[in-house]
Structure formats: structure tokens, C-alpha cells
């Protein structure tokens, strides 16, 4: 069964600290993995897209890693800001048609001053 599991479910960190969010998946076949940021009351917005051959990809203070062998990904946030408070959703895409996006339940990150 194609599944995407994220941990932790929620996380509270102090402003300026770093954190790492985890994503494990069983989706097969694999096309790419995406991290989305979803602010409260808003739609998800793409942060990174990683293909099979990419191990690391950065977008500002966000760095995603992918280990396609162990089917694990992480999202590392450096020097957190209050505006980083959001849910972070891992999405694994399978190349089997339009019905091919598998969503994790997200990690709710709260950055406090």
C-alpha cells in the first residue's frame, strides 16, 4: 500500500533554532518527492521538488534531503523565524497518471519568540 508518514506530528521550537522534519514513504514506483508549506487557512505552497537522482536541494533556509534507497526524506529549517510557523506536508508522486500524489498528514511547526 502506498503510504507517506511524517514525524513528528507537531513541533515547537524557539525562534532562531534549527529543526528537522522527517518523511518516510512506501510509494512505488517513484517519480519525485515534494515538500509543501501550508499556512493556517491557506492552500499548500511548494518548497522543493526532488527527483530520484537528487540527494539534497536547498531553497533559502530550507534544505531537503532524499534517500531513495531507504525511501526517506527530511526537511531541515535553519535559523527559524516566526513566519515558519505552518504545517509542512510531504508529498510523494508516482508516475502512474494524474491520480498519483500521495500526501503525508503533515508536521505542525510552531516557532515561538
Question: What residues line the site for other proteins (CB under 8 A)?
Answer: 4, 31-32, 34, 41-46, 49, 89, 93, 95, 97-101, 103-106
Name the residue nearer to other proteins (CB basis): 22 or 32: 32
Name the residue nearer to other proteins (CB basis): 34 or 75: 34
User: Does residue 10 contact residue 111 with C-beta atoms inside 8 Å?
Assistant: no
Alpha-carbon gap, residue 68 to 88, rounded angstroms = 20
Q: Provide, rounded to whole angstroms, the least separation between the CB of residue 46 and other proteins.
A: 5
Name the residue nearer to other proteins (CB basis): 71 or 78: 71
Report the Cα–Cα distance between both ends of the chain, in Å, rounded: 41
Amino acid at each position: 500500500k502506498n503510504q507517506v508518514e511524517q514525524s513528528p506530528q507537531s513541533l515547537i521550537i524557539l525562534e532562531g533554532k534549527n529543526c528537522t522534519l522527517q518523511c518516510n514513504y512506501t510509494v512505488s514506483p517513484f517519480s519525485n518527492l515534494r515538500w509543501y508549506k501550508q499556512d493556517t487557512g491557506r492552500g499548500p505552497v511548494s518548497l522543493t521538488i526532488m527527483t530520484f537522482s537528487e540527494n539534497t536541494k536547498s531553497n533559502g533556509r530550507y534544505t531537503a534531503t532524499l534517500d531513495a534507497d531507504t525511501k526517506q526524506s527530511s526537511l531541515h529549517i535553519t535559523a527559524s523565524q516566526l513566519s515558519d510557523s505552518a504545517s509542512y506536508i510531504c508529498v510523494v508522486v508516482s508516475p502512474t497518471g494524474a491520480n498519483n500524489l500521495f500526501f503525508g498528514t503533515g508536521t505542525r511547526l510552531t516557532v515561538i519568540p
